[in-house]
Amino acid sequence: MSGRTTLDKLWDDHEILRREDGTSLLWVDRHFVHEGSHHAFAKIAERDMGVRHPELTFGVADHYVPTRGAPRSADIARMIATLTGNAERHGIELFGVKDPRQGIVHVAGPEQGLTLPGLLVVCGDSHTATHGALGAYAFGIGATEVAHVLATQTIWQKKPKRMRLRVEGALHPGVGAKDIALNWISTLGADGARGHAIEYAGSAVRDLSVEGRLTLCNLSIEGGARSGMVPPDAVTLEWIAGRPFAPEGALWERACEAFLALAPDADAEYDREAVLDASEIAPIVTWGTSPEEALPVTATLPDPARAETEAEARRISASLDYMGLGAGRPLAGTPVDQIFIGSCTNGRIEDLRSAAAVLKGRRAVVPGMISPGSSAVKAQAEQEGLDRIFAEAGLDWVASGCSMCVGMNGDLVESGKRCASTTNRNFRGRQGQGARTHLMSPAMAAAAAVTGTITDARPLLEGRS
């Protein structure tokens, strides 16, 4: 028998039983809920069921929280109140609007030490793969499954195929985790990793900070993967040590041993392998309406006339049309109307530092909003004086939440406006009806702010940290 991958180890540790059809019942160690989980609470209420393990479930207000002042409408306020009510009713600890631990679930969970290596983590949210950056097996689930987890603390799953994505070599300065992710998604396609759990490996991944790994795993789902994971190493342990919910003392020592044992065995076999050369990755920007429609900032836009098939030509035309872009023109230099920095993809402290490195001493020529991924990130950024750099650049520094990533709190991009955004989805209407979204890294969004166009951030970073 060959050795086990990290996924194999986590799967074996959580499998309670396997049905004849190959579906397994898995134990859930950590369950996160947010405002959107209200359907699931309603489902268990209908059947008069309680929450089986409220101490293993944590609630976070994120999708609907106001980033300025009070909620914009009674409906929005009700979404937050419903979460609060459900948490109280079932004895679930909640990081509510005013709690200093509040944040986007995929930022706050890891930050509080609730996401640990070896845990099976679920949430009714597609970007739950983010938590895999710490060596957890984490995936998003639907409302019926959320109800099942609330009622039983278990979930039925078919084991995904195992894929290893190695990124070897060193990234150039000004290129980061977001660029690695958009690079592989544009190469393999938005469906490229379907049915697979990705384990990220290679020297460029090992060299990433945990923040970078969280960004990388966050985008796994945009390439069709069920989950993304970085096997725990010394970087992981150092990042987790001392966080509020992390094990302490002798327990921590024992935990570290167990965490490191989750690395794949040397002879582990994967169903699929892919390799990227880090030195070939440039800052990437999306031009279309799917994260796979992405190109290096130095490239020219595609031309439907040069497409290989008619279907592809139609798809390119439709995307260019929606985005209001001309075929074959350079991507750099495209004027933007506004920028947004934040979200569970790029709202962490390092993201804000890299945006600040570009913005320091410069003025934005278009409006923009910066929403930290959590209240703790906000406090840290303010302690470092990043908020002053943003304010001096003329950008709005607001409270933490999902905000303009999806606009559920009312932070929307107007129809026809073009937004340089550090988020993870550029679907039609994602940031508002008719809104045009270009996904990019925080440094690139900052560069767009100071030039008013899609711009290579690298020259603006020269001589800066």
Ligand X SMILES: CC(C)[C@H](C(=O)O)[C@@H](O)C(=O)O
| Least distance between ligand X and beta carbon 151 (Å) | 20
The backbone torsions φ and ψ at residue 272, rounded to the nearest 5 degrees and listed phi first, read -155, 145
Closer residue to ligand SF4 in complex, CB, 296/342: 342
User: In the set 29, 125, 211, 222, which binds ligand SF4 (CB under 6 A)?
Assistant: 125
- Under rule CB under 6 A, which residues in 400-429 are in contact with ligand SF4? 402, 405-406, 423-424
Chain centroid offset of residue 88 CA: 28
| Least distance between ligand X and beta carbon 372 (Å) | 17
Stretch that binds ligand X, among 121-129, 181-189, 233-241, 287-295 (CB under 6 A): 121-129
Contacted by 286, from ligand SF4, ligand X, none: CB < 5 to 8 Å by type:
none
| Least distance between ligand SF4 and beta carbon 105 (Å) | 6
User: In the set 125, 179, 292, 351, which binds ligand X (CB under 6 A)?
Assistant: 125
Q: How far apart are CA 404 and CA 431, in angstroms?
A: 6
Contacted by 348, from ligand SF4, ligand X, none: CB < 5 to 8 Å by type:
none
DSSP code per residue over 392-445: HTT-EE---SSGGGT-TTS--PPTT-EEEE-SS---TTTTSTT-EEEE--HHHH
Task: Work out whether 127 is an interface residue with ligand SF4 (CB under 6 A).
Answer: yes
Contacted by 343, from ligand X, ligand SF4, none: CB < 5 to 8 Å by type:
ligand SF4
Contacted by 36, from ligand X, ligand SF4, none: CB < 5 to 8 Å by type:
ligand X
Type of residue numbered 267 = D
Closer residue to ligand X in complex, CB, 106/436: 106
Query: 3-state SS of the chain: helix, strand, coil percent to 5?
Result: 40, 20, 40
Kindly report each contact of residues 265-270 with a partner whose C-beta sits within 8 Å and lies 24 or more positions away, as own/partner: 265/2, 265/3, 265/4, 265/5, 266/3, 267/2, 267/3, 268/2, 268/3, 268/4, 268/5, 268/8, 269/2, 269/3, 269/5, 269/162, 270/5, 270/162, 270/163, 270/164, 270/199
User: Which stretch of DSSP H or E encloses residue 381?
Assistant: helix 375-383
Task: Work out whether 63 is an interface residue with ligand X (CB under 6 A).
Answer: yes
Closer residue to ligand SF4 in complex, CB, 325/406: 406
User: Which stretch of DSSP H or E encloses residue 31?
Assistant: strand 30-33
| Least distance between ligand SF4 and beta carbon 280 (Å) | 28
Give bridge partners of residue 438 from the DSSP assignment.
Answer: 420
- Under rule CB under 6 A, which residues in 375-434 are in contact with ligand X? 406
- Tokens 């944590």, located at residue: 58
Closer residue to ligand SF4 in complex, CB, 247/291: 291
Question: Do 339 and 366 touch, CB atoms closer than 8 A?
Answer: yes
User: In the set 127, 178, 417, 436, which binds ligand X (CB under 6 A)?
Assistant: 127
| Least distance between ligand SF4 and beta carbon 144 (Å) | 19
Name the residue whose CB lies closest to ligand X. Answer: 126
Range list of H helices, 125-176 = 143-152
Question: Do 323 and 82 touch, CB atoms closer than 8 A?
Answer: no
| Least distance between ligand SF4 and beta carbon 436 (Å) | 17
3-state secondary structure of 94: strand
Closer residue to ligand X in complex, CB, 142/335: 142
| Least distance between ligand SF4 and beta carbon 421 (Å) | 10
User: In the set 217, 344, 356, 395, which binds ligand SF4 (CB under 6 A)?
Assistant: 344
- Tokens 């429609």, located at residue: 293
CA angle in degrees (0–180, nearest 5) for 320-325-330 = 115
- Under rule CB under 6 A, which residues in 19-38 are in contact with ligand X? 36
Q: Count of residues binding ligand X (CB under 6 A)?
A: 7
**284 Cβ contact partners less than 8 Å away, ≥ 6 residues apart:** 178, 179, 182, 183, 186, 294, 295, 296, 297, 440, 441
Task: Work out whether 221 is an interface residue with ligand SF4 (CB under 6 A).
Answer: no
Residues at the contact surface with ligand X, assessed by CB under 6 A: 36, 63, 125-127, 140, 406
Residues at the contact surface with ligand SF4, assessed by CB under 6 A: 62-63, 104, 106, 125, 127, 343-344, 402, 405-406, 423-424
